[in-house]
Amino acid sequence: MNETANRLLEPYFGYGRMRELFCDRGRVAGMLEFEAALARAQARVGLVPAEAAEVIGRHCQAQDMDLDALAQAIVLAGNTAIPLVKMLGRQIAAESPEAERYLHLGATSQDAMDTGLVLQLRRAVDLLEQQLAELGEQLSAQARRHAATVMPGRTWLQHATPVTLGMKLASVLGSVSRHRLRLQEMRHRLLSLQFGGASGTLAALGEQAWPVAEALADELQLSLPEQPWHTQRDRLAELAGWLGSLAGTLGKLGRDFSLLMQTEAGEVFEPAAPGKGGSSTMPHKRNPVGAAVLIHAGTRAPGLVATLLSAMPQEHERSLGLWHAEWDSLPELCCLVSGAIDQASQLAAGLEVDTARMLRNLEQTRGLILAEPVSVELARHLGRQDAHHLLEQCCRRAVEQDRHLGEVLHAEPRVTEHLSGDLIDRLLDPANYTGQAARWVEQACREHEQLQRDMHNG
């Protein structure tokens, strides 16, 4: 076991699948994929003998690289590509000194590192899309299941008018769908070849520069940008901003559900499991440990996004330090958000709902949270201002006399003059005042389903 690895926390924060993509071996594999493709591309245009390209490609195997030796060499080299190319060159030269002459031809270290990163990000984007599709499925199913599950709405942490649990879940689902659309829209810009040579001109390749670039982009199935982007980091910053925004959405989900798990609310709970959410000293505790991961991601992500944004004003044609600041920040951000999506899916899939508690909580204010519909109905007869003022008086009387608002309204002549007893009771029924909540659920679910079809067909 590597004693410096973060083995204690990574399982909790759920980085596993994404961390595999951004491990040291994965970083090396991305750069080697670039080197092999470069040799093939140059062979396609006649710049490199096909035999040499074949030898180079055969040696571009991450499992053959000594990562410990690379780590030590990077300390002096200042980046991962320089010692990697040297190590690869020695392996190739042992078989064919002729082939070694064509390794890394016309490229610079940043070409290998940035394109290698893009290749990792392609797999990361695929994983994120898969995870978001799974989360969307869970949210959609639960939103429909609880489309009519009435609960207190809360504004400024106080009871407002009734909402439904399905509506709350549909709002998250809508945000997830928009994040998926944004990811698809930026995908072409992000998955872009970096190939500029020493200063971005590809001068070392002469007239063959553009044909090689076209062939290389084709080999790697990346878009060919209008020019190299060595120190134009908007592509990576755009992804970072997207990840940060998604972390915010997940953080809100975690925050809301942790509040709903509070003893004073007790309306919605994370799925139970043996030993989950316990306390070291209090046997009764059931802590929102999954929601904590979502809040953790929403808290950490903005700092990592800020690092990527701060690293954008890079000097001239190659940056000193700002480029370096991206190397672990962007992978960490991907891992952070990926882990949070996994936790969100688990939370959504196994959600436990106490509908009886929701109804009891709706009655905590003894009818006060439904003063609005009564006021709206009275306004038809008295006008808005007078109706609002009358309801304020009735609410104050209910609180002072510790009575249900309905009891006060039934006893108030200025109310019963215009509203029947049955109408008052209907107006004070939370199930009759959820407005367009069911529509919001259906729209969010339909949008998700259409997105699923588009992604499957596209």
385-412 confidence digits (pLDDT tens): 999 999 999 999 999 999 999 999 999 9
Question: Of all helices (H) and strands (E), which one includes residue 164?
Answer: strand 158-164
The amino acid at 131: Q
Q: Is the pLDDT of residue 275 over 70?
A: no
| Cα 257 to Cα 267: distance, rounded to the nearest angstrom | 9
The pLDDT-based confidence of 359 (bands split at 50, 70, 90) is very high
pLDDT for 287: 85
| Cα 126 to Cα 130: distance, rounded to the nearest angstrom | 6
Contact by Cβ (8 Å): 234, 313 = no
Average pLDDT of the chain, as a whole number: 94
Our measurement of the distance from residue 409's CA atom to the centroid of its chain's CA atoms, rounded to an integer in Å, reads 48
> How many other CB atoms are there within 10 angstroms of residue 68's CB atom?
9
How far apart, in Å, are the Cα atoms of 446 and each of 28, 75, 137, 232, 449?
42, 53, 11, 39, 5
Our measurement of the distance from residue 137's CA atom to the centroid of its chain's CA atoms, rounded to an integer in Å, reads 15
Mean pLDDT of 448-453: 96
The residue with greater pLDDT, 327 or 287, is 327
pLDDT for 1: 39
pLDDT for 194: 98
Length of the chain: 458
pLDDT for 274: 67
Q: Is the pLDDT of residue 4 over 70?
A: no
CB half-sphere exposure, 248, CA atoms < 13 A:
12
Instruction: Take residue 33 and report the two structure tokens written for it.
Output: 């994929």
The residue with greater pLDDT, 287 or 3, is 287
Which of left, alpha, beta for 336 (phi over 0: left; psi -120 to 50: alpha)?
Answer: alpha
pTM of the shown model: 0.93
**What percent of the chain lies above the pLDDT cut of 90?**
91
Mean pLDDT of 221-225: 97
The pLDDT-based confidence of 283 (bands split at 50, 70, 90) is low
The pLDDT-based confidence of 192 (bands split at 50, 70, 90) is very high
Catalytic amino acids?
279, 318
| Cα 114 to Cα 142: distance, rounded to the nearest angstrom | 41
pLDDT for 285: 61
Measured torsion, CA atoms of residues 46, 51, 54, 58, in degrees rounded to the nearest 10: -150
Q: Which residue has the tokens 């520069």?
A: 209
